[in-house]
Amino acid sequence: MAYGNAGTYREREILTASPAKLVVIVYDHLLANLCRARLAIEANKIEARIEAVAKARDAVVELLAGTDVERGGTLAVNLQSLYVFMFSELNVIVHEPEVERVEKLAEIVSHLREAFASIAATTAVQSPAA
């Protein structure tokens, strides 16, 4: 099976995704990089850890920038606070690599991802694609 079109498929998925689905995609990216960071810590691969954490921070910044406090109210404010906490934890992990800290972040992100996946699925059912 050829995988040459995987990038094209992913690009199309992103361009046609609902806002909730886009958040899920960012969470998936964040989780993948937290996993990479954990593996790098366990293998004592400093460069790989730093790269994975940097990509995880980029994902958190994307989530933070996309949080609409005006429309989201208290929930959005709480999400922003959580994202700031996550960013802070990632900065600590760069200098103090602890698997437990990465796993706690991954647990938080997994719960958020599931919530947004549920929202995305509900939205998709309510407004099917043409």
- Residues with Cβ within 8 Å of residue 84, at least 6 apart in sequence: 64
Q: What are the residue ranges of helices labelled H in the chain?
A: 6-16, 19-42, 46-65, 69-95, 99-126
Average pLDDT of every residue of the chain: 89
DSSP-assigned states of every residue in 96-110? S--HHHHHHHHHHHH
pTM comes to 0.84
- For residues 69 and 113, the answer to whether their CB atoms sit within 8 Å is no
Confidence at 8, pLDDT banded by 50, 70, 90: low
pLDDT digits (tens, 9 = 90+) for 48-100: 999 999 999 999 999 999 999 999 999 999 999 999 999 999 999 999 999 99
Q: What percent of the chain has pLDDT over 90?
A: 75
